[in-house]
Chain A
Amino acid sequence: MVSLLPTPHPKERRIIFGNISKPGYSPDIETYLAHGGYESLKKALGMKPNEIIDMVKAANLRGRGGAGFPAGAKWSFIKYDDGKPHYIVVNADESEPGTFKDRYILHQDPHQLIEGLAIAAFATNVHLSYIYIRCEFPKAAKIVWEAIKEAKAKGFLGKNILGTGFDLDIYVHQGAGAYICGEETSLLESLEGKRPYPRIKPPYFPAVLGLYMKPTIVNNVETICHVKHILAMGPEEYAKMGTPGDGGTRTMCVSGDVQRPGFYEIPCGGVTLGELINDVCGGLKPGRTLKAVIPGGSSAKVLRAGETFKMKVKGPDGQMVEKEVPLLDLVMDASTLQAAGTMVGSGGVMIMDDTRDMVWALNNLNQFYAHESCGQCTPCREGSLWMSKVTTRIIDEGARPDDAKNLKNIADNIAGRTVCAFGEACSWPTQSFLAKFPDEFEKRVK
């Protein structure tokens, strides 16, 4: 089990993880109430729904599941009184390699999620909500079910919540073991009892034709949890913690070759990559040098040690100036990482040092994606397995002269041509590993 530092690192600011791994804190409702639980919900129920959405917008909360879509904007796609049933589905199908934050929330602080969900539901006129938990988290499902029961017994869920006339029921749905169910439209298919094939967009945008073809919001566990804190501290103060356009804190899951792998809750843009590795995570292992970083879950494009990136940054006079930014000076927020050609994604930061073989690492990812491709559309179905077979063969038998060229072309033929973002997820590692570490592939040629 990856645990938090006993006391927060100075760079950390624990909001979501405020009670995680805290001695004496248990997931039951009495503990939660003793720590000020459900106060935000009470506050929200006294507000107008659109005021809550405005607060979430003003807080600059971006989705924490990977795509980073502004949460307030997503909620405002739902027309409050269009006469249709609306749903919120919580995506607790946390399965992006390198990401392991949501399970701790589910295990240790489930009421935080339920409270955030109740607020979100009240704001968007939702009376039925689902928490979709991946198959591999059976314990989490049990804990969340228990928490729902407790909340219902205390009047925070069910009919006429806290006497306000607002009704909400929450159900837990357990997945059957497929990474693709983290893709929101395939999650909805799975929830409807079907084979989890992602839907084509257009026309099946969840906000229009979501669960049971009704307007639906799909949010990540962490995103929903943040809502509670936005209500509690007010959007201005919440937004201030982060950068403009990327408010609040973000949990970073750091894995790989650092002294202290684990998760850290850090204000958005609050650290550079160098600070995260060397300061927060205690640096690399003795005698090792940095080789590569995947900054936002396995799908994010890899960055190479020593790289520099041309990007516009704020100069000392406040004007934007173009500058060469070295890898370790990259600020870990959505816009900087995007400008560096990768993404903050789900916050899974993977650190690789000089002992790592990049072909082996790519093959590891390729095998994962080949195993998890749902198989619905041609390029991903056939291409992911093909890439995996090529990298496996390179490791087992050595490379052919045209392998690198072909691998890149296979990836190019997948990205941007598939039903869902899995196409990009499975091709970006190949594209970026080949672009950043061509030497490692060349030296494998027989």
Chain B
Amino acid sequence: MSETATPVAMVNVQVDGEWKQFPKGTRLIEACMKSGKFIPHYCYHPKLSTPGNCRMCLVETGRPKMTPDRQPVLGADGRPEIAWGPKPEISCAAEVAEGMGVRTSSPLVEECRKGVMEFLLINHPLDCPICDQAGECRLQEFSVEFGKGESRFREEKVKKPKRVDIGERIVLDDERCIMCSRCIRFMQEVAHDDVLGFLNRGSHTTLSVYPGKRLDNNYSLNTVDICPVGALTSKDFRFKMRVWFLKETQTIDVSCGTGCNIVIGSRENIVYRITPRENEEVNSCWMPDSHRMNFHYLHSDERLVSPLVKGEEAPSKWTRALAGAAEKLQGRDPAKTALIASARMTNEELFLARRLASALKIENFDVLLRPQKGDGFLISDDGNPNTGGAKLLGLATGKLSEIARRVESGEITALIVLGEDAVDCGISEGALKKLEALVFAGILANKTSPHASVVLPTSAWAEKRGTMINIKGRIQRLNQAIQPPGQARDDWEVLRDLVQAVGGSNGVYSIEEVFKVMASETPALQGLTISRVGDLGLQLSLPA
């Protein structure tokens, strides 16, 4: 908030006997949460409208007792006396008001919660052992914490559709649905694709897609995230792994320039799912399906798992491969050597790539830009996640088409390709074949790798640490969720070793050190460290 902003009026609210202050307009449920009082809820979601339908967040409320001339009656402590309401009130829809009182755990409130929990479970199939939501299910959690522990329901449950194929990536189990309408509201209010709705009424209410339509929107999987129960499940993740086995790693999506904040769920070096992580400055709570699903290639058979030196017996040892690459690159005419880096590389890698170019005195270097048509929401107009870093660190020179032309014409005879396919950069395979030296570092075999003199297998984004700068100039952190496969190594180490091999020691032994050196040489990063970037990133003041 800027210093000139109008101060928000504060109101005094008594939360479980203690007076606290909240900005006017705060929702009561949020005020309670801020006071450390957890209010169980299903339908309420801070980013969606408030239907007030689950009734789980009922609390006791009161307003100040008034004298006949509308003045609050003050108690011995000088605070207003509270006239408690006869009925409980939903805290998600109420706003704080001056002199308001709230009881979050009174006998009445506990009775309300027990009642709602029992109601929610009477027609629920209780199929937790085969439900993907188990372990992160609000019904389970609140049942343990606020429920009765037993049901008095002796009648037949309502039968509803099971395993309903409602979209490309989503399966619906209507018997598990608690009709909180979060998914419906998300599709209306956030995705603006109003395909979900309820059919029938009463306890027979059934979530469904509009006749003839499908839940195929590119944001559909967010409904699975916000479904508090196991009604909506992801086809991709379904039955793959119990969630309590998943290791959660906070990192960022690298599918475009937005850099959605995400959590990787992995176990034993396999990524099972990706879910969005809240960051108000970047992606709120959401992410596109296409990006969320963009991880299966991490476990592809096409992964490069060992270094290779052309003409030598595979696999090579790293020392041999690095020495081979250095041999190929050293002693050449720098004017006949070029380097193609990638705006998918981290800042640290780009910084070291720039060092490599300097060590070899190469002036022909660039990155491949990926302008694209974004969706106006979370898919940006930049298909690269780190164009910002490539520009800041001087890698984006605009020379790529010139480089390609000169490779084609044979003027350039040695090429270093980092994390890209040279064919995508406008260089033909025929030209690649003719090169005297081609050093390739990357994670997947492509049209460049078969022609490489040396192939250096590196790490994918989920397998390493580092930083990137998104399209809005925000520096964000990647964290390592899994180990790279086979002998593949972290890119920055490979680049450091190459720099060392071609030009002597540069004395960095950890990625923190790389960042430190980079920050000291880059004004926009001055004073930063990887840890200061934090889980939510930092906005940079970048040169125009």
Of the listed stretches A155-163, A237-245, A371-379, chain B binds: A371-379
CB distance from A310 to the nearest CB of B (A): 21
Give the chain B neighbours of A382 by CB distance below 8 A: 119-120, 122-123, 203
A114-165 interface (Cβ within 8 A of B) = none
CB distance from A422 to the nearest CB of B (A): 10
Complex: how many Å from CA A378 to CA B179?
A: 8
Please judge, given known A-B contacts A375-B198, A378-B116, A413-B118, whether A370 and B203 are in contact too, CB under 8 Å: yes
Complex: how many Å from CA A166 to CA B461?
A: 70
Q: Which of B88, B120, B152 touches A417 (beta carbons < 8 Å)?
A: B88
Determine if A381 and B115 form an interchain contact, defined as CB atoms under 8 angstroms apart: no
A60-78 interface (Cβ within 8 A of B) = none
Determine if B90 and A385 form an interchain contact, defined as CB atoms under 8 angstroms apart: no
Give the chain B neighbours of A444 by CB distance below 8 A: none
Determine if A375 and B158 form an interchain contact, defined as CB atoms under 8 angstroms apart: no
Determine if A416 and B51 form an interchain contact, defined as CB atoms under 8 angstroms apart: no
Q: Is the interface of B mostly helix, strand, loop or mixed?
A: loop
Complex: how many Å from CA A390 to CA B88?
A: 27
Q: Which of A178, A386, A406, A419 touches B201 (beta carbons < 8 Å)?
A: A178
Determine if B55 and A378 form an interchain contact, defined as CB atoms under 8 angstroms apart: yes
Complex: how many Å from CA A373 to CA B152?
A: 21
Is A195 an interface position by the 8 A CB rule?
yes
Cβ-closest chain B residue relative to A200? B52
Cβ-closest chain A residue relative to B201? A375
Is B112 an interface position by the 8 A CB rule?
yes
The residue among B56, B87, B202 with the most chain A CB atoms within 10 A of its own CB is B202
Is A356 an interface position by the 8 A CB rule?
no
Determine if B203 and A417 form an interchain contact, defined as CB atoms under 8 angstroms apart: no
Is A383 an interface position by the 8 A CB rule?
yes
Is A402 an interface position by the 8 A CB rule?
yes
Determine if A202 and B152 form an interchain contact, defined as CB atoms under 8 angstroms apart: no
B79-138 interface (Cβ within 8 A of A) = 86-88, 90, 93-94, 111-112, 115-116, 118-120, 122-123
Complex: how many Å from CA A417 to CA B109?
A: 11
Please judge, given known A-B contacts A202-B94, A386-B122, A402-B152, whether A381 and B116 are in contact too, CB under 8 Å: no
Determine if A385 and B115 form an interchain contact, defined as CB atoms under 8 angstroms apart: no
CB distance from A213 to the nearest CB of B (A): 13
> Interface 1/0s, chain A 2-31, versus B by CB < 8 A?
000000000000000000000000000000
Q: Which of A197, A377, A379 touches B115 (beta carbons < 8 Å)?
A: A379
CB distance from B109 to the nearest CB of A (A): 11
Is A203 an interface position by the 8 A CB rule?
yes
CB distance from A345 to the nearest CB of B (A): 20
B26-83 interface (Cβ within 8 A of A) = 50-56, 58
Give the chain B neighbours of A190 by CB distance below 8 A: none
Partner-A contacts on B (CB < 8 A): 50-56, 58, 86-88, 90, 93-94, 111-112, 115-116, 118-120, 122-123, 152-156, 158, 178-179, 197-198, 200-205
Could you give 7 example pairs across A and B, Cβ below 8 Å?
A372-B201, A375-B202, A377-B54, A393-B154, A402-B152, A412-B115, A416-B86
Partner-B contacts on A (CB < 8 A): 178, 180, 195, 197, 200, 202-203, 370-379, 381-386, 389-390, 393, 400, 402, 406, 412-413, 416-419
